[in-house]
Amino acid sequence: MLTTEARKKILAENEAAAELLQERFARAGTLVVDLISGPGSGKTSLLEETARRLSGELRLGCVVGDIATERDAERLREAGLNARQIVTGGACHLDARVVREAVDAADFGELDILFIENVGNLVCPASYKLGEDFKIVLLSVTEGHDKPLKYPGIFSRAKVAVLTKVDLLPHVRFDVAKVRAEIEMLQPDVKIVEVAVTTGQGVESWCNLLRNALAEKRRTRAS
């Protein structure tokens, strides 16, 4: 187990690397979002549908983190999203160094939006900055409505929360109002989107959120 001092050193080194990445993405005018969730929440499915809807409009790329296999990156490529897999070999999160190496190796070219699909975990990824503009937390209705207060770290840091698989609400016990209230208590400025990829519900609202965030970043860059 890492000592407190060792952990502080690792986080400080990561933050320095993340700041360099953020400056690089700012110069390029690329919106970068870090998607964090537990396994099976639907990150990859949402990105597949996002690629289908936005690929003809925006230049998209994705760095995908998984403990093993390239399955998610393969799925995203089939959906038309230029994706680079990072196989962590056991690490429960991505860090700024491996993201930089993946972006360099991928040679994405000029991008409008870079998605970082983090390793499926609600704990470790929350503490690591990756040069992103903001973090996005996903929570599927099949996971239960107790998660925000059980995992306050990520729900208090994420600027966007996506409730996924909402088409299954009639079949599970999930209190949407309770979850919304707890997320907003932890992060008052949060934007919450409800989506169901299988039916398309809320996906256009999600895409509009990305369009607006990109436009805002470029307005700020130009001013």
Q: What CA–CA distance (Å, rounded) separates 88 from 81?
A: 21
pLDDT, greater one: 29 or 10? 29
> Residue 11's pLDDT band (boundaries 50, 70, 90)?
confident
Across the range 51-56, mean pLDDT stands at: 95
Q: What CA–CA distance (Å, rounded) separates 179 from 184?
A: 9
Report helix, strand or coil for 40. Answer: coil
Report the pLDDT value the prediction gives residue 1, as an integer from 0 to 100.
65
- Residue 217: both structure tokens together: 């970043």
CB 63 within 8 A of CB 86: yes
Predicted confidence (pLDDT) per residue in 60-77, tens digit: 999 999 999 999 999 999
- Residue 49: both structure tokens together: 């549908």
Which sequence spans correspond to the domains of the chain?
Answer: 4-222
Across the range 158-187, mean pLDDT stands at: 98
Report the pLDDT value the prediction gives residue 217, as an integer from 0 to 100.
95
> Residue 19's pLDDT band (boundaries 50, 70, 90)?
very high
* Strand order through the sheet with 134-140: 82-87, 60-66, 113-117, 31-37, 134-140, 160-164, 191-194
Q: Is the pLDDT of residue 33 over 90?
A: yes
Q: Tell how far CA 104 is from the center of its chain.
A: 19
- Residue 132: both structure tokens together: 């992103």
At residue 115, φ and ψ (nearest 5 deg) are -95, 135
Report helix, strand or coil for 221. Answer: helix
Q: Is the pLDDT of residue 51 over 80?
A: yes
Across the range 177-193, mean pLDDT stands at: 98
Burial class (CB in 10 A: 0-12, 13-18, 19+), 222: exposed
- CATH class, domain 4-222, is alpha beta
> Residue 116's pLDDT band (boundaries 50, 70, 90)?
very high
Closest to 194 measured CA to CA, from 203, 183, 186, 181: 203
Q: Is the pLDDT of residue 82 over 70?
A: yes
Across the range 17-21, mean pLDDT stands at: 96
Across the range 147-163, mean pLDDT stands at: 98
Q: What CA–CA distance (Å, rounded) separates 166 from 140?
A: 7
pLDDT, greater one: 198 or 10? 198
Q: What is the 3-state secondary structure (H, E, C) of 81-138?
A: CEEEEEECCCCCCCCHHHHHHHHHHHCCCCCCEEEEECCCCCCHHHHCCCCCCEEEEE
Across the range 13-20, mean pLDDT stands at: 95
Across the range 157-175, mean pLDDT stands at: 98
Helices 4-28, 96-106: crossing angle, 10 deg rounding: 30
Amino acid, res. 130: L
Across the range 150-161, mean pLDDT stands at: 98
Angle ∠(82,143,70) on CA atoms, nearest 5: 25
CB 142 within 8 A of CB 62: no
Q: To the nearest whole number, what is the mean pLDDT of the chain?
A: 95
- Residue 15: both structure tokens together: 């933050």
